[in-house]
Amino acid sequence: MTTLTTHIRRAWLLALVIPALVAVLALIAVDLGAGHHATRRQFSDVARLAAAQMAVWSDGGRSGVPTDLIERFRAGDDRLVERFEQFGVALMRTSDLATIAVTDAQGEVVCAWPRNATPTDPVDLPADRHAIVVRRADAAAAPGLTEALAPVSRGPNLLPLAYVVVTAELPRAPGWMGMSAAAGIALVLVVVILMGAVTLRLLDRRVCRPLAELGGQATNSPRPRQTSLPLERTDEVGAIARRIDALRQEVASSRQKAQRLQRSMDETITRQTRQMSRLLQQAKREADLDALTGLCNRRYLDENLERIYSEQAKRGVNLAIAMFDVDQFKPLNDRAGHPAGDALLRFLGELLRSSLRDGDVGIRYGGDEFVVIFVDIAGAAALEAADRVVRLFAQRMSVAQLPAQVTLSAGVAALDDVSAASGADLLAQADQALYRAKHAGKNQVASARAAPLPARS
């Protein structure tokens, strides 16, 4: 028994080299994992670059993606498809890509290069529509490839209408947790050695020392610890000791099971809470959007106007509100029908969206009335922006063949021109300015303080 204890304690010498070995293996794992993650970051940057290029090809190079870009792809616009193919060829030469494709908001592929690589099934879009996702491609459609999905942004508070999907053959992670096979085997060996050392230590403490003490053998420790239960005894004391030891093991096993169950419940609750939070945020974003124009709806204005007013007041910056109303909209609906009226409202929504800056908000107030909240802008600049929208609308209507003459009137109220105690007060003054513009002959813009601008011919 003394010889066994001596051999066990000698085995502890092996543990002296384990920390150095673990440190070397950890450095190898970190280096390999860092290289793999850097490759994935570069791949996501390629997808982000392609999405930015799609945004440049939209109307005027603005950050929004109008619906007509997707429609032009579907219609086979030769010029757009040629530009896309040239861009795809250049990107593949510099980035070693396999394919590049553009999808609509539902994941349907509208254009891809090479042409024979167009998938037949829709692309599975990520839950977070604004995130850039790098993942393994479908094994049946693209075996061994990795794909990156990047949304093409449409501006504040709006979901993307298009996505860019690029695929490439990236090197797989070198092994478990970013390690190569050799490093993984070495780590397993280290774990086995550690477990063996721990087992030997427990054997020395729980078996060898108690047996040596019970057999009258002295230990090498200057302060020997009290022996554990005498499980080896064959009398009644030994039977009681074995029963107590069995109870200890049952208690320890039950405690471990309870801890595992608690961890599982905590992880499940956390995962479900995050999922519910994402779903609620997505539902709130969709509930605040007007389906016809893509602008925010009246509910968004009612819930956020006072908050926006208070935030600008705290920052000490100017705030302006412009109200727009389509003149002669009802006669157009009566003569040309509601589809023509809806098409006109969609055009006006796109026109207003293209005039928004970062932080500005476009809202369909109701029917043919619209509101734009300009933040951090002088009243004169807001008046010019509203007048530009009215002029562009008049230019479009002058070439449109409509059965009724349709124009646009606007009213603008800004804090540097008028006094308003709340966001609702500023909105009411913009509404009064709109009434004066319509009363003065329509097709013009009026300020809450100044006289209406000249009517557009």
pLDDT tens, residue by residue, 413-449: 999 999 999 999 999 999 999 999 999 999 999 999 8
Structure confidence at residue 18 (pLDDT): 63
| CA 428/CA 448 separation, integer angstroms | 10
Give the SS3 label for residue 374: strand
Structure confidence at residue 65 (pLDDT): 46
Q: How many CA atoms lie within 13 A of 313 on its CB side?
A: 13
Give the SS3 label for residue 257: helix
| CA 128/CA 402 separation, integer angstroms | 41
Q: Are 112 and 102 in contact (CB under 8 A)?
A: yes
| CA 231/CA 167 separation, integer angstroms | 64
What is 197-231 written as a DSSP string?
A: HHHHHHHIIIIIHHHHHHTTPPPSSSSPPPP---T
Structure confidence at residue 298 (pLDDT): 92
Q: Catalytic: 368?
A: yes
| CA 324/CA 14 separation, integer angstroms | 82
Between the two ends of the chain, the Cα-to-Cα distance in Å is: 111
| CA 168/CA 436 separation, integer angstroms | 60
pLDDT digits (tens, 9 = 90+) for 271-286: 776 776 665 555 555 5
Structure confidence at residue 217 (pLDDT): 38
Question: Which residue's entry shows tokens 């022996």?
Answer: 227
Structure confidence at residue 30 (pLDDT): 56
Which residues, listed in sequence order, are joined to residue 99 by a DSSP beta bridge? 167
Length of the chain: 457
Structure confidence at residue 145 (pLDDT): 85
| CA 344/CA 394 separation, integer angstroms | 12
Structure confidence at residue 451 (pLDDT): 55
Question: Which residue's entry shows tokens 């204890």?
Answer: 5
290, 325, 368, 387: the catalytic one is: 368
Structure confidence at residue 182 (pLDDT): 57
Structure confidence at residue 22 (pLDDT): 63
DSSP symbol at 291:
T
Composition of the chain by helix, strand, coil, percent to 5: 55, 15, 30
Q: Which residues of the chain have pLDDT under 50?
A: 1-2, 4, 60-65, 178, 213-226
Structure confidence at residue 115 (pLDDT): 73
Which residues, listed in sequence order, are joined to residue 455 by a DSSP beta bridge? none
Q: Are 436 and 446 in contact (CB under 8 A)?
A: yes
